[in-house]
Amino acid sequence: MVTSLGLRATKQRAAVLALVDEVADFRSAQELHELLRARGESVGLTTVYRTVATLAEAGELDVIRRADGESVYRRCGSGAHHHHLVCRDCGAAVEVEGPAMERWAERVAADHGYSQVAHTLELFGVCPVCSAAK
Amino acid sequence: MVTSLGLRATKQRAAVLALVDEVADFRSAQELHELLRARGESVGLTTVYRTVATLAEAGELDVIRRADGESVYRRCGSGAHHHHLVCRDCGAAVEVEGPAMERWAERVAADHGYSQVAHTLELFGVCPVCSAAK
DNA sequence: CCCCTTAATGAAAGTCGTTGTCATTTCCAT
DNA sequence: ATGGAAATGACAACGACTTTCATTAAGGGG
């Protein structure tokens, strides 16, 4: 799985991959580092940062920024382009698609002569579980 | 203008306000600080940070995050809710609206039981001027 | 117009997420 | 097995931003 990306199969990468496969919520590099330590599979913080960066580049992980600017990662179910509806409290996320919006974005950009267009779109709210727990 | 927010009218706030009124592009606190220094109206970096934070809270400035996570500010033409089409190279920005998208976001969130929903949406590209200059 | 309280300023130090360095370890092709 | 390249990890460094705190100055009351 990692080898298909020209990467070596190390214990650490396996541990990170196993973890993000289990955790459904968006988690920061530091949180992942702590979770690994807690389960007795310690991986250096630097390595966690490098690993999630690599996996994100390869499209294996989704990255978004929390309100405070911290980057949080999550295993994405689909390789296709999508966005997220994320819980502000627990990080629980739902993948959402909006083809009509993608087209709108393209058109708006083209109308103003902008090229090489990309967009960021994330929805933040409080999930049903966290709402109920209040 | 600043006094209507319960703030004192200081030389520094006037200088920052005058600057953001002239500059149409999104600029970081550090860039604003440097621009002020260059025009001989030096304002402490700390004060620039505090001022843009205050103005942003008051809705007088728009804030977005660059790809590297740095916050950049701009005077917004309309007080109404809007998004931006921003040039990656020079920060030039166009205000855009997408009422259909706002409704889509609301509906998607409601469908999944999420409450207190907010969203971030920015379009990034290369503006006509920067495209031509390449 | 002059105090005098209180907000505002700014230099420097601190915080925090993240990245660079580099010696050591580990993978894996030969 | 083994040599060489890639990966690891402790630590230092970095950069945006915030806090601290002593000093300055705004602006209302007398």
Q: pLDDT, tens digit, for every residue of A101-126? A: 999 999 999 999 999 999 999 999 99
Nearest nt to the CA of A69 via C1' is C17
What mean pLDDT do residues B101-130 have? 96
Whether residue A105 is found in the same domain as residue A134: yes
Q: pLDDT, tens digit, for every residue of A73-93? A: 999 888 889 999 999 989 999
Q: Please answer whether residues B106 and B117 qualify as being in contact, where contact means their C-beta atoms are separated by less than 8 angstroms.
A: yes
Model ipTM? 0.91
Whether residue A6 is found in the same domain as residue A64: yes
Q: pLDDT, tens digit, for every residue of B29-73? A: 999 999 999 999 999 999 999 999 999 999 999 999 999 999 999
Whether residue A40 is found in the same domain as residue A94: no
> Of all helices (H) and strands (E), which one includes residue A93?
strand A93-96
Whether residue B122 is found in the same domain as residue B70: no
Whether residue A3 is found in the same domain as residue A56: yes
Q: Which residues of B touch A128 (CB under 8 A)?
A: 112-114
Q: Which residues of A touch B117 (CB under 8 A)?
A: 123-125
Whether residue B46 is found in the same domain as residue B30: yes
Phi and psi at A82, nearest 5°, equal -155, 170
pLDDT of residue B6: 84
Residues 39-78 in B contacting A (C-alpha not used; CB under 8 Å): 65, 69
pLDDT of residue B115: 96
pLDDT of residue B77: 83
> Where among B60, B77, B94 does a domain terminate?
B77
Q: pLDDT, tens digit, for every residue of A7-59? A: 999 999 999 999 999 999 999 999 999 999 999 999 999 999 999 999 999 99
Q: State the greatest distance between any 2 C-alpha atoms of chain A, in Å, as a whole number.
A: 54
Whether residue B19 is found in the same domain as residue B71: yes
**Residue B78 pLDDT level (bands cut at 50, 70, 90):** confident
Q: Please answer whether residues A38 and A48 qualify as being in contact, where contact means their C-beta atoms are separated by less than 8 angstroms.
A: no
How many domains are contained in chain A?
Answer: 2
pLDDT of residue A79: 80
Whether residue A93 is found in the same domain as residue A65: no
CATH number of domain containing B17: 1.10.10.10
Torsion of CA A19, A22, A23, A29, to 10 degrees: 10
Whether residue B87 is found in the same domain as residue B133: yes
Domain that holds residue B123: 80-134
Whether residue B42 is found in the same domain as residue B95: no
Whether residue A15 is found in the same domain as residue A26: yes
Whether residue A85 is found in the same domain as residue A108: yes
